[in-house]
Amino acid sequence: ETGVTQTPRHLVMGMTNKKSLKCEQHLGHNAMYWYKQSAKKPLELMFVYNFKEQTENNSVPSRFSPECPNSSHLFLHLHTLQPEDSALYLCASSLLAGESPNEQFFGPGTRLTVL
């Protein structure tokens, strides 16, 4: 285990549903990330939070809404998704760039299927 947990592990939802993905890190890190992994494509960075403040939104559609209530928890709220949003959603955490080591540790992911 990497110290980063994600729930649920699998999620099937319709295009009109609203759901949330949860991520929790037990590593004392101060940066958290959401990535999208589609089949045979590189991981795509979606959002970055440093000390609960969003520092990057990588042109993600507004149907994805992140929330970071504290440095240990990260949520991704989903609404009116499209079938092309089906993918593995990975959460990661790290120390900030100036702190060593700043390796990103990944959670197991949530496999999302949008019908």
Partner 1 sequence: KNQVEQSPQSLIILEGKNCTLQCNYTVSPFSNLRWYKQDTGRGPVSLTIMTFSENTKSNGRYTATLDADTKQSSLHITASQLSDSASYICVVSETGSSGGYNKLIFGAGTRLAVHP
Q: Give the footprint of partner 1 on this chain (CB under 8 A).
A: 2, 4, 31, 40-43, 45, 48, 50, 55-56, 88, 90, 92, 94, 96-98, 102-109, 111
Residue with smaller CB distance to partner 1, 75 or 106: 106
- What's the CA gap between 80 and 10, in Å, rounded? 18
Residue with smaller CB distance to partner 1, 90 or 114: 90
Smallest gap, in angstroms, from Cβ of residue 102 to partner 1? 6
Residue with smaller CB distance to partner 1, 77 or 103: 103
Q: Please provide residue 90's backbone torsions phi and psi, each rounded to the nearest 5 degrees.
A: -110, 135
